Structure 1
Amino acid sequence: MRHVAVIGSGPAGYYTAEGCQKQFGDAVRVDIIDRLPVPYGLIRTGVAPDHQSIKGVSRRYEATALSDNVRFVGNVTVGKDVTIPELLELYDAVVLATGAPHDRALGIAGDDLPGVIGSAAFVGWYNGHPDFAGLAPPLHGPGAVVVGAGNVALDVARILAKTQDEFGGSDIVGHALAHLGDHTIDTVTILARRGPHEIAMTPKELGELGHLVRAVPLVNPADLPPPEADAALEPGLRKSVAHLRDFATRTHDKPIRVVFDFFAIPVAIEGDGRVERVIVERTQIEDGRAIGTGETYAIPAGLVVSCIGYRTPPLDGVPYDDRLGRFANENGRIAPGLYAVGWARRGPTGTIGTNRPDGFMIAEHIAADVPEDAAKPGRAALDALFAARGVDVVTFRDWQRIDEAEIAHARTGSPREKFTAVDEMLAARSPG
């Protein structure tokens, strides 16, 4: 019997558990440990609330969680309630699936002004993450600037531009919905340091911008390459650029503009005690790199959301690659018995589905590294340790009660109203 501890209950964590089941059958026990009392990581707190079909993948993880040899161990903070060295003593393999929940800093003057928010915080706020429930971003300035050229930037822009009615069917949390309904922003500017052919935006997400009730997406035709240049693009990117070409034909006929500002990088953020404007430098592409031209201009804004990537937080005693913002590893192996998977292994790249082969690869590593007759005690010893320390562990059955309570408290048309405080989640475990 092999005993495996997985730290993190997002896609990478559950795919690792699934991979271990496929690799070892009944001869494995997997404990999935998470800091929050609720599972699924970025499926719950990162995927946009109006993308419910994507969140449906959690049903696959639920099937894994309900199997006899996998369990959820929620409300446990690794480093406080139990350490990595302790887990390595108890388990044959410890897999870090902690994701990359921390924002990369912009690293420019003024990026610490009130009103500058990282996308992890902003997305966490409207998705009900307990760490960001009290964020209350400033939404009463003339404009917002979103920095980045990927789908997260599109999510942020779309959420800012939607009407209250357009959130029907979503699970955006009530406090964010009310706050967004009161905003006065009339221009959302998306800054991309390179051009339309270098975006990381997918066609579906771009297409959604073209159907908003009160917002129109706008692209400067001069930023687009000649149409014949699109032929060399891979099909998905070609479809994305086709949307941008359509946006270049739109007119400003709605109350809110979503402006794509290509070949532009922020170089400073200014304001008297808060964000008031973003200083932007025009760029040009040299050898595939965006190089500043020295031409600058200002964009009025009371909110700046930085969508430029994420970092995995370090853990005591675990080798860390500060340059790449992830755990130092060789193809997922960190040290004997210690592994990294998903964004914690490779950095914040890939889709949800990318984590499946990643998790299965780690299961194969464990099979190669850990003998069949491994004799570490696993979950029984962990339970004894938690009992001695008074750790209040949340089980998957507890989560199901929390889930039922969220569904029961949903506003009309919404699938759920998430609890945004840990104590509320813990209280919801009790029936009735």
Structure 2
Amino acid sequence: MGAGPAGIYAAEALAGQDDVPVAVDLVDRLPTPFGLVRHGIAPDHVKMRALRETLHHTLDHERVRFVGNVEIGTDLSLDELRRHVDAVVYTYGAAGDRRLGVPGEELPGSLAATDVVAWYCGHPDADRARVEDAVLRARDVVVVGVGNVALDVARVLARSPAELDPTEMPQHVLDTLAAAPVERVTVLGRRGPAQATFTTQELRELGHLARATVLVHPGDLTDAGDAALAAEDRHVARNLAALQGFSENQPVAGWTTVRLQFHARPVRLLGTDRVTGVEVERTTVDEDGRAVGTGETSTLPADLVVRSVGYQGHALPGLPLEAGTVPHQAGRVLRDGVPSTGEYVAGWIKRGPTGVVGTNKHDARETVASLLADAASGVLAPRGDDDWVDTLVARGGRPVLLADWRAIDAAEIALGAVHGRARTTLHDREQLLAAVRSAAAAVEG
């Protein structure tokens, strides 16, 4: 349940069993597959987004059926679905954001990175009006967090229109970013550069923007503890080397600046009707690696504040959730501490928002191994041959199957061609379904 990488890798592992033929339905509440590969990887990361071509091989497997535009709990209850299938693997990810927990966080102009990413990736649920209102006012931007998503947001906001125009972004996103008055982007890290979680590749990419300069204060790179960590960890050493190079940069007239500021945590967002600034406290790192405030504060001007301090999972109606993940044992869902027959979990909703896309493959294999072991031991029993999709359609549901997805895919490619691009993302759910209806009408006609 969830047609992102975790779900597709689980389907691949199940459908690939030659000795035990397994039919798999990949169910997603969106009309499109690929999850965070489509709606999480920044559109200017063309090579990373090309992973969907690999994932598509599983959708084409004869034992796999993609069933999109189905929301469990609304279109069909979890209990109804479970009555029709032998087992369910929950792979719907962790799309919720974590809060800063500081005063002023609810002011207009304060957004979660999940909001911004959903918007520029063309997610059907993106709050377009709210994000665009904030971006179009944003001369000074503060991004809180030093992970890859934080750098994605900073990079996209700092890119020139010419750099973004070839991407798959919806046209309204490109138009908004081209009109945005962004001059300064400050990325705040609560701890030192050695504790930052971004990858070196993401960090170095900031240094290749066409009309933006990356700045780092040399004083942020003099901590003896950071040097000791760099001596033990190549990843830290590479990051510190890249940051050292940035510390030698100077602002360029007319260019956007992207400043990476460490040992700084937001303690309050300022403003009355909307965000106007961020009060920042200087920190140190204690022996346990925690950021500790020094009491020294300063103020950064900000028209837009984007928090990027982690993801968390949400509960699916009828499914247990503890601290943002589904409790499990080797992928078997636990209810009151006991494995629940026929229920499994994989991906971020299983382990939390950690790892890269490829991490989901190993994770899914562990879960599938548990499922197959339960089938072999007789724990799983067949629940009937009737098709739950027929039940859904009979009550007015509009499932999107693989052929329908191909129609959406073709419509996006055609729209991209109009603008001289490989693809332009359709962002609106009704637009996506209209592409399905149009293709069906053409066949019938």
TM-score (norm 2): 0.91
1:94-147: CA deviations, max 9, x gaps?
111111111112211111111111111100101100111443142324310001
Is it true that 1:283 corresponds to 2:289 in the alignment? no
CA distance in 1, matches of 2:169, 2:138: 22
Name the SS for the 1:272 alignment partner. coil
Cα separation, 2, equivalents of 1:339 and 1:107: 33
2:202 to 202, 205, 226: 205
| Alignment partner of 1:92 is 2:89 | no
Q: Distance in 1 between matches of 2:94 and 2:71?
A: 16
**CA shift in 2, pair 1:26/1:390, >3 Å:** farther
Q: For the residues of structure 1 that align with 2:312 and 2:292, how far apart are their CA atoms?
A: 25
Within the alignment, does 1:235 sit opposite 2:234 as a pair?
Answer: yes
CA distance in 1, matches of 2:233, 2:35: 31
Aligned to 2:71: 77
Is the contact made by 1:23 and 1:367 (CA closer than 8 Å) also made in structure 2? no
* Residue 383 (structure 1) shift: 2.2
Matches for 1:33-182 after TM superposition, within 5 Å:
33-132=27-126, 133-134=128-129, 135-139=131-135, 140-182=137-179
Alignment of 1:211-360 (within 5 A): 211-224=208-221, 225=223, 229=228, 231-254=230-253, 255-287=255-287, 288-321=289-322, 324-334=323-333, 335-360=340-365
Residues 22 and 8 (structure 1), Cα distance of their counterparts in 2 relative to 1, 3 Å cut: same
Instruction: Find the partner of 1:27 among 21, 25, 50.
Output: 21
- Provide the residue aligned with 1:397 in structure 2: 403
Match of 1:377 in 2: 384
1:258-300 Cα distance to aligned partner (Å, 9 max, x none): 1111011111111121111111111111121111111111111
Q: Contact between 2:26 and 2:65, CA under 8 Å: does it hold in 1?
A: yes
Which amino acid counterpart does residue 49 of structure 1 have in structure 2? Answer: P
SS of aligned partner of 1:131: coil
Instruction: Give the residue type in structure 2 aligned to 1:275.
Output: V
Contact 1:157 1:188 in 2 (8 A): yes
- CA offsets per residue over residues 361-413 of structure 1, 9 Å max, x none? 111010111246832236x4302311321111100110011000100001544
Mapped partners of 1:340, 1:137: distance in 2: 38
Letter in 1 for 2:281: E
SS at match of 1:146: strand
Q: Does 1:406 align with 2:412?
A: yes
Q: CA deviation at 1:26?
A: 5.8
Aligned partner letter, 1:391: G
From 413, 417, 420, the counterpart of 2:424 = 417
Listed as ranges, the gaps of 5+ residues in structure 2 are 334-339
Give 5+ residue unaligned stretches, structure 1.
1-6
Matched residues in 2 for 1:83 and 1:228: separation?
Answer: 54
Distance of aligned partners of 1:120 and 1:141 in 2 relative to their CA distance in 1, 3 Å threshold: closer
The two structures, once aligned, show a CA RMSD in angstroms of: 1.7
Which residue is equivalent to 1:16? 10
Distance 2:13 2:235 in 1: 29
Q: Kindly provide the amino acid, as one letter, of the partner of residue 238 in structure 2.
A: K
Higher mean alpha-carbon deviation, 267-276 vs 86-95, is at: 86-95
Letter in 2 for 1:427: A
Q: Is the 8 A contact 1:91 1:377 kept in 2?
A: yes
Question: In 1, distance between residues paired with 2:371 and 2:435?
Answer: 37
Give the conservation status (yes or no) of the 8 Å contact 2:217–2:247.
yes
Task: Tell me the secondary structure at the aligned position of residue 268 of structure 1.
Answer: strand
Deviations 1:55-89 (A, max 9, x none): 11112221111111101001100111112222222
User: Residue 193 in 1 paired to residue 194 in 2?
Assistant: no
Which deviates more, 273-282 or 327-336? Answer: 327-336
CA distance in 2, matches of 1:284, 1:350: 27
Q: Are 2:362 and 1:363 equivalent residues in the alignment? A: no
Cα 1:285–1:261 change in 2 (3 A) is: same
CA distance in 1, matches of 2:196, 2:120: 25
Q: Which whole-Å CA distance do the structure 1 matches of 2:92 and 2:230 have between them?
A: 39
Q: What letter matches 1:127 in structure 2?
A: C
Is 2:3–2:26's contact at 8 Å kept on the other side of the alignment?
Answer: yes
CA distance in 1, matches of 2:421, 2:238: 31
Instruction: Tell me the equivalent position of 1:3.
Output: none
Give yes or no for contact 2:393–2:399 (8 Å, CA) kept in 1: no
Conserved? CA contact 1:221–1:245, under 8 Å = yes
Aligned counterparts of 1:313 and 1:353: Cα–Cα separation in 2 = 23
Letter in 2 for 1:279: E
Q: Answer yes or no: is the 8 Å Cα contact 2:330–2:370 preserved in 1.
A: no
Question: In 2, Cα distance between the equivalents of 1:237 and 1:407?
Answer: 40
Distance 1:297 1:235 in 2: 33
Separation in 1 of the partners of 2:431 and 2:108?
29
Task: Give the deviation of 1:25 after TM superposition.
Answer: 5.3
